[in-house]
Amino acid sequence: MQQILAILSSDADEPTITSALGSGNSHSYLHPTVLIVDGDETVLSSLSQTTGVIATLSDDAATNLATASDITQLDTPGMATLIGNTLGVNTTFDEPVVLAVAGWIFGFSPQYQAMQSDRPREGETWDMQGCLPDDSFDNA
Amino acid sequence: MLCLRASRDKNVALYEQHHSARGPIARPDTRKHVRNQMRDFMVGNVAVGVIVVDGKAGTEAEFTFGEKLNIAIGVSKGFDILYKLKAVAPSGLPRIPLFFVAKTDTVKLDLDPAAVPAPSAAGTRVSTSAEYERFEQVWRDPALTALGFSAGKPGIAQYVQKLMATSWVALPGAPDTAYVVLVTKYMANWMAYADSAITRLTMSYLWLADQTAVNADGTGGFRGTGAKGWGEANFHRVFAHESGHIFGAPDEYASSKCSTSATAGHLHIANSNCEVSNPASVDCLMKNNIEAMCPATPGHWGWADLNGNGVLDVLEP
């Protein structure tokens, strides 16, 4: 099952989006207008043609984008331009949307995959004795 | 007190209707869903507000764009871990509704990191709530103020209420609960910690990312604290672990001084996998840096139907 990112307009209609999902499932929102969906090509196609969906991006497209350029070297305006050009939309996305979309794309990048394949301290017992104070945060 | 007793959801039937149906459904009046107290169990639509407290330009407290991307994907991958653990919850349970929605606010401060206390040397760290506050308030309160909220706990509460009132476009139903994640490269009293009472967790990215080894005598580690970070690659796992605290799961590793007889979570379930004097303890998220479910954690998170009536106990009226 592939993942799909959908950027929704602020007035997107809930029943319409739900219907467009078809056999797909909502996975999470990374921003109030950025929906991640688990679905196949049919779901991607359906969402792409749905009113209220500004743009969609498949995980394959995200992988290609993240492989073609090192997006960590960009800044927010540069990433906004890249996203706009990739999605073929004229919309100017604000920073929270850019970070949500770019973060998702970054997850498919060679850099992130390499980082995850060489995780430090794999399986170690947490030494997070600072997770909680000895007393209660209620005292703060 | 580890956890806050949550108010019972009066809209369970409506909630179930929204989450089991695939067909068109009506958007409820979100104002009916706003509560002053958040759930202490991991069930329902969970809103997560990430506040990235970005530091003064040119200082160590300033995030790179790549680090911001790692935070964004780390939160998403953290959701994946929690979803994955839900999938391996004990069989026979009723369906566990769980859906994460997030938003991120980035606040740029002109605060010199030198204005924040330096971390305590190995063996001298004080683990009181006042000490956590001594570090955190220096950068947290200006960030909350910049976002238009009050300083301190009132500001956190206001932010959580704003999350509860936020409309995630086309989301069936409103958030059932919410929590705040503060991520910064300013100093904190520990690399990551959670306060379930006000549904806030804090992550010190600088400390978390640092890989300075700890010496045999306990010195070394991040800036001489004696504690090594878990690495940027584990941001999602630390986030998932700390989120586990938000929803009632206690630590299960020996240095946390846990006890198998202690109870935790909304349902007051024993911490049976606590490592202390427990050779049967297994490795899992609340004990280790792995993505496995602890035997007692489903109960701590409210994923239990102890009376076997087909309804999660935490959702019963």
Query: Which residue from A26, A106, A140 is facing B99, i.e. has the nearest CB?
Result: A26
CB spacing of A126 vs B288 below 8 angstroms: yes
Query: Encoding tokens for residue B32?
Result: 């009916």
Q: What is the mean pLDDT of residues B68-96?
A: 97
How buried is A41 (Cβ within 10 angstroms: 0-12 exposed, 13-18 middle, 19+ buried)?
exposed
Residue A137 lies in a domain: no
Judged by CB atoms closer than 8 Å, whether chains meet at A18 and B227 is answered as no
pLDDT of residue B21: 31
Burial of B58 (0-12, 13-18, 19+ CB in 10 A): exposed
Nearest CB partner across the interface for A104, out of B64, B73, B241: B73
Number of H helices and E strands in chain B, helices first, is 7, 7
Answer yes or no: are the C-beta atoms of B201 and B190 closer than 8 Å.
no
A31 found inside a domain: yes
Closest chain B C-alpha to A103 CA, distance in angstroms: 4
What's the mean per-residue pLDDT of chain B? 89
Does some domain include residue A40? yes
Which domain range does residue A68 map to? 2-119
Per-residue model confidence (pLDDT) at position A132: 75
Identify whether A85 is part of a domain: yes
How many structural domains compose chain A? 1
Q: List, as ranges, residues 133-172 from B with C-beta within 8 Å of A.
A: 133, 153, 166-172
**Is residue A138 in some structural domain?**
no
ipTM of the assembly?
0.96
B32 vs B227: which has the higher pLDDT: B227
- Residue B66 confidence (pLDDT) above 70: yes
What pLDDT is recorded for position B15? 31
Residues B131-186: pLDDT tens digits?
Answer: 999 999 999 999 999 999 999 999 999 999 999 999 999 998 899 999 999 999 99
In a domain, A101, yes or no: yes
Contacts of B289 (CB under 8 A, 6+ apart): A119, A121, A122, A123, A124, A125, A126, B230, B234, B237
Q: Is any Cβ of chain A less than 8 angstroms from the Cβ of B72? A: yes
Q: Is the pLDDT of residue B10 over 80?
A: no
Mean pLDDT by 10 residues, chain A (140 residues): 95 95 97 98 98 98 96 97 94 95 98 97 86 71
Which amino acid makes up residue B126? V
Predicted pLDDT at A96: 97
% of chain B exceeding 70 in pLDDT:
89
Q: What SS3 state is found at B70?
A: helix
